[in-house]
Every structure is written in C-alpha cells, then in structure tokens.
Amino acid sequence: MPRVLSHALIPLVLLGLVTSGCDEEEAAAPEPEAPTIGVFELPISFRYVPAPSAAYVIEVTPGALTLDERVLMELDRGRLPDAVLSGETIPDLAAALASAPARSAGIIATEGGTPYATTARIIATLHAANIRGLFFRVRRGTGTEEGYLDVGRYHVRPESQEPFTFQRPAQRMWDDLPPAWPEMNERCYESEHRVDCTHEQSNVAEGGKMLITLFARGNGLKIDLNRFDPPEPTGEGGGGLIEGVAAPEPVEPAEDELPPAENASFSWRFRGATTEPSTVSATMRPLCGSTPCGVVIEAEGQTPTMRVLSFLGACFPNGSEAPEVLFQVPPA
C-alpha cells in the first residue's frame, strides 16, 4: 500500500519545501549582467584599425555605463544623471579607472543613439586620468565586422567659440585652402546628400591660421573652415612700419568686389557620411588626405554619438593621415 502522510506532517513538509525553494532561489540569484552592444548598433566608420591591447573597455547602452563588463551606474536612455557629474568629468568612472590595473588606452563602445553629452564626458574623464590612447568600437564601413576608430592625439575642453591652436603640422594655415578649394567644392557638389557647398573665391585673405570644425546637429553635418590669428599688418612693399611714419590708409574694395574670403563650409545630411563611397571623404581629401589636420568636434548634447563618430570616420577614412582632435564638451 502507498504510504500516506499524516495531516500533522503535511504542513511541516510543505514548509520545508517552501524554505528549501527560497534558499535555492537566493543562492542562484545571479549578479546583474553587463549589457552587450551588437555590431549593427555601432556607428559606421570608414576609418578603423584592429583591436588595441591593454585598454580599458567602457560600454554605454540606454540603461547602463560599464567598465570592463562591470556596471558602474544606471542611465536614462543613455543620459547621465546630474548627480554623477562634476564639471566635464564623471568622478565615479574616474575612481573606477584609478582602482583598475593601469592601461595605456581606453575603448569606448556606445549604442549609436547615445547622446553626445554622455560620450564627451567619458572622453573628458579618460583625458583627465592621463589615458592618451582613445579608440571607439565601430562597424567597419557598411560591412558586418567590428573595428576600432583611432582618433590619434586628442584634447578636451568645455564648449567654446574661441579658436584652438594645434601643433604643426596638424595646425593648418589659411593659405593651405586656395589650392584645395576648387576640388573640395567639386567633390561636395557630387553628393546627392549635400546641403550646401561654398564655391571657391577668387579673392581669398592671405596669411593666418585655419580653424577646422566638424559640426553635427540633428541630421546635419558641416565642415566649417575659418581664418584666425591673421598676420600683423605691414607697410607697402611688405616691410614693417617705420617709426614716425603713418600707416597707409586702408583701400576700400570696389563696390562690385567682395571682401577677401575668411571662411568656407561644406554641409550634408547624415547619409553623406555613411554612404559608400562617401563624398564627405572625397571633399576632405584635398585638404587633409596627405597632411595631418587638427579638427574641433562640436555637437549639441542630444546629438546621437553615431553621427559624430561616423562624420569623423568619413572625414579621415583609411588611407588618410590620422587627425588630431579637440573634443568640446557641451553643457549638461
């Protein structure tokens, strides 16, 4: 005959089963897993290298920021809480970097829609920690494999309209523009994604330095070239002014003559940076293909990071000289 439990024992048996189940559940409770980013969630870049060695790995998804697969903080759709910020840096990330084994480079992997304000503050934190190698995990062009966008030498500062001087040869001079301008304009006009292409001018200012800004806003991308730090005026014939001799009066341009050009710009919709072959690449090549260029990155805080990185990768594709980059951190 089957053995029957007495009514007195049944509650004890059930209690034992429930207690045992709770113990097993508590023992088996896993730690939160670090989120992962698939290759199709990464920014497209036409500049990429193999994975660097000895690098910190920082990943950003809509819900979390992780360092070396350990969740450091929760995010709200990729946005950093105000409470975790200190100026342009993230102190909790800085502390985690300081306590980890020292490495020479940092890899940032962001889901494409991550706000640029978040990415810029991660960059600023790495820079403040004296980590000079900076890489972004990207998608190799329009393919299906991962690569790493190496930005070369980089700098960080709060958003500013003040010019920035790079070291030569990355600091380009304004006189470098006239020989490259006609081809830049021609390549820009070839793009079905163009918005505006400044036609080359016959009257271009002479001397001074060139400020190259890569600007991203909404669905728009713009290469902005501006002259700054012009040379001191000289007397007629190119010599310096003689003490006691008045400088000549400035010559007013004729009514039909435009003043000397001191700026130029080329702009596209975002697809111009991700369509292969990229006319963004073709437009930048005459100026920066064979000579290093220092560029300033400027973007609104809510701009998706993928647009900033794809633009940078299109301006300096494989085969061109590595850029030197100043990342500007937008207001929180």
In a domain, 3, yes or no: no
| DSSP per residue, 281-303 | HHHHHHHHSSS--EEEEEE-TTS
pLDDT of residue 31: 53
Q: Tell whether 268 and 310 lie within a shared domain.
A: yes
In a domain, 159, yes or no: no
The answer for residues whose C-beta is within 8 angstroms of residue 163's C-beta and 6 or more apart is: 209, 211, 226, 228, 229
In this prediction, residue 8 has a pLDDT band, given cuts at 50, 70 and 90, of very low
Q: Tell whether 145 and 209 lie within a shared domain.
A: no
In a domain, 207, yes or no: yes
In a domain, 4, yes or no: no
The answer for residues whose C-beta is within 8 angstroms of residue 55's C-beta and 6 or more apart is: 103, 104, 105, 106, 107, 133, 135
Provide the domain count of the chain.
Answer: 2
Q: Tell whether 120 and 224 lie within a shared domain.
A: no
- State how beta strands 209-217 and 194-197 pair: unpaired
Average pLDDT over residues 101-108: 96
What confidence tens digit (pLDDT) does each residue in 222-271 have? 999 999 999 988 755 445 555 666 666 665 655 557 799 999 999 999 99
13/259 Cα distance (integer angstroms): 95
- Residue 117 pLDDT > 60, yes or no? yes
Instruction: Show which of 151, 183, 198 is a domain's final residue.
Output: 151
Q: What is the mean pLDDT of the chain?
A: 88
Q: Tell whether 263 and 324 lie within a shared domain.
A: yes
- Which residue range(s) make up the domain with 186? 174-229+259-329
In a domain, 276, yes or no: yes
Instruction: Show which of 151, 182, 213 is a domain's final residue.
Output: 151
Q: Tell whether 323 and 272 lie within a shared domain.
A: yes
pLDDT of residue 20: 46
In this prediction, residue 332 has a pLDDT band, given cuts at 50, 70 and 90, of confident
Q: Tell whether 82 and 189 lie within a shared domain.
A: no
56/100 Cα distance (integer angstroms): 9
Average pLDDT over residues 106-118: 96
In a domain, 1, yes or no: no
Q: Tell whether 178 and 140 lie within a shared domain.
A: no
Q: Tell whether 210 and 114 lie within a shared domain.
A: no
In a domain, 17, yes or no: no
Q: Tell whether 213 and 314 lie within a shared domain.
A: yes
Q: Tell whether 189 and 307 lie within a shared domain.
A: yes
- Cis amide bond preceding 277, omega within 30: yes
Average pLDDT over residues 94-122: 96
What confidence tens digit (pLDDT) does each residue in 25-69 have? 444 555 555 557 999 999 999 999 999 989 999 999 999 999 999
In a domain, 73, yes or no: yes
Residue 227 amino acid letter: R
Q: Tell whether 91 and 130 lie within a shared domain.
A: yes
Closest CA to 78 of 108, 114, 45: 114
Q: What is the 3-state secondary structure (H, E, C) of 59-100?
A: EECCCEEEECCEEEEECECCECCHHHCECCECHHHHHHHHHC
Instruction: Show which of 117, 151, 185 is a domain's final residue.
Output: 151
Average pLDDT over residues 118-143: 97
pLDDT of residue 36: 77
Average pLDDT over residues 311-330: 97
pLDDT of residue 233: 82
Structure tokens given for 82: 């105000």
What confidence tens digit (pLDDT) does each residue in 170-226 have? 999 999 999 999 999 999 999 999 999 999 999 999 999 999 999 999 899 999 999
Structure tokens given for 161: 């309209």
Q: Tell whether 189 and 270 lie within a shared domain.
A: yes
Average pLDDT over residues 117-131: 98
